[in-house]
Chain A
Amino acid sequence: MSAPLTPDDVAKVAHLARLDLTPAELAHYTQQLAGIVGHFRDIDALDLADVEPMTQPYPLVNVLRDDTVRPTLDRAEVLACAPAAEGGRFRVPTILGGDA
């Protein structure tokens, strides 16, 4: 399989998952995740070349329904759940110029 998990790996994963980690947290999670990933080595010995992946237990595909007009959630009720809303929309801080 692959090399042991490093602090750089965990920092990259935390960024992808939009989690901010302190240096202490980074060290803590690196140690724990390395232990867990190390345990996964038990599958290295398996011969899986001819095994089909299984993504879901029940073979349903493309469940469709008629495109009919039905009641939907109330917009005011939904927006009332949001941390910030304005003019019938969700309000967020600046989206351009920050972290890409």
Chain B
Amino acid sequence: MGAAHDIAADVRAGRRSAVSVVDEHLAAIGAREADIHAFNLVLADEARAAAADVDRRVAAGEDPGRLAGVPVALKDNMCTRGIPTTCSSKILEGWRPPYDATVVQRLAAAGAVVIGKTNLDEFAMGSSTENSAFGPTRNPHDLTRVPGGSSGGSAAAVAAGFAPVALGSDTGGSIRQPAGLCGVVGVKPTYGLVSRYGLIAFASSLDQIGPFATDVADAALLLEVIGGHDAMDSTSIPQPFPSVVDALSLGVEGLRVGRVTDLPEGAQPDVLERLEAAFLALEKAGATIVDVTVPAFTYGLTAYYLIAPAEASSNLARYDGVRYGLRVDAADTAAMNAASRSAGFGDEVKRRIMLGTYALSAGYYDAYYGKALKIRRMIADDFARAYQTADVILTPASPAVAFPFGSKGDDPLSMYLEDVYTIPSNLAGHPGMTVPYGTGAEGLPVGVQILAPALGEVAMFRAAAALEASQ
């Protein structure tokens, strides 16, 4: 067990075998997975074989890479060649992708070992992992509560010690919210920093892959391994990005940390108390706290729930029962398309497809989708003004600690409000990350979110390292 950077250092030096590392984590999975259900699929044989290959290379005097022998849990919306990739949807159950996602290739090239595919809200649509077609994931800190979502399986896997690190995807907060609820570090990088080739699309102008880890150093290491330009993703930023591992030792002397004075209401007192403690800790470490306003923050939820479903309604049109996935036979192809989609998609996915189709339909496009794109510009402009006086901004990661299963009931809006603090940075394309910062109600983890402007990962990780060190 232990942190990824320690495992990699030991495996590269021959002090520890990668197979033994995998076996330790498989034992942890064996002990608690039946309670937690972090995984859709545990890849015990494949992980042992990959680890044995890492050990062979170390024995032969080769260096397997920066993540040598490190088990990684992979959200089950990233393609793995020949290995089922479901998006936690019945419509893709049993599908075996004919190719690997770029992040999967980069993990393998760095010597990492994929130990399993983790559960998610179907097609990454949700904030609790309750929308999975294969049943919910439970929070390792309290099995009666959700782990957050949509990357709840990845967050829970890291929190439970099933893997030292994991990958998730974040379209409106799907890495940062579950990281906060499970008490782990979670990073949504700048839009375009990590290739989405092989990430099953939800909302393409918002989706971004990022790491989960037990500490900030592991998150930085994993981000450096998966990040950087990829010709297979036309939205990939074609320039190198500065080292976030090096940023960890820079300190926060002189860093300007923004406090949003017009933050949308709704955060619980225990969450706000931890946020205040984080401001104090950064100030004590040498940072300067400055007040900023981001007036459009409050409209982010509406803009997001028009733009993301609109893009999803287009992206999910590909599930038509023709080329892959579920088919329900019918007399003609149009009827087969509808029968397959109706049987294969779950309730929330159908709701968002219809919402997006509505927002894009004739007569409503200007009133909904067109307006949402303008609000998106306002949010980006507001952030740009705020970042003239601040290097990073601190907010809650989510309004409250992990909530009990079923407590958001039949009201989709109350679930959507979980992401009120994370959504604006997706709309702007900015990075954001959650750092666990103590506990709140019921002794459950509370996360603080650090936001930064596009390609501002160095400042973000400086603040994250300082917050971690202050605990």
Contact = CB atoms under 8 A, between A and B. Distances in A.
B192 A58 contact: yes
Q: Among A1, A21, A99, which residue has the most Cβ atoms of chain B within 10 A?
A: A99
A12 B263 CA distance: 38
Interface in B66-102: 95-99
A54 B205 CA distance: 10
Interface stretch (B122-130, B319-327, B460-468): B319-327
B336 A57 contact: no
A4 interface: no
Q: Among B231, B357, B372, which residue has the most Cβ atoms of chain A within 10 A?
A: B357
The dominant DSSP class at the A interface is loop
A48 B299 CA distance: 13
A14 interface: yes
B333 A48 contact: no
A96 B372 CA distance: 38
Interface string B230-273: 01001101100000000000000000000000000000000000
Interface string A63-78: 1010000000110011
Interface in B417-438: 427-430
A27 interface: no
Contacts of A73: 98-99
Given A19-B341, A53-B376, A83-B322, A74 B413 contact: no
A81 B299 contact: no
Contact of A13 (B234, B298, B334, B361): B361
Interface residues of A, number: 55
B337 A18 contact: yes
Contact of B205 (A21, A39, A57, A100): A57
Given A1-B367, A40-B302, A56-B235, 14 more contacts: A2-B364, A9-B358, A16-B357, A18-B338, A19-B354, A36-B416, A39-B413, A48-B374, A54-B380, A58-B235, A58-B237, A81-B95, A92-B333, A94-B333
Interface of A: 1-2, 5, 9-10, 12-14, 16-21, 29, 32-33, 35-37, 39-40, 42-43, 46, 48, 51-58, 60, 63, 65, 73-74, 77-78, 81-84, 90, 92-100
Counting from the closest, the 6 A-B pairs by CB-CB distance are A57-B429, A98-B332, A83-B327, A53-B373, A99-B334, A54-B377
Interface of B: 95-99, 191-192, 205, 231, 234-235, 237-238, 298-299, 302-303, 305-306, 313, 317, 320-327, 329-339, 341-342, 345, 350-351, 353-355, 357-358, 361, 363-364, 367-368, 370-378, 380, 410-413, 416, 427-430, 454
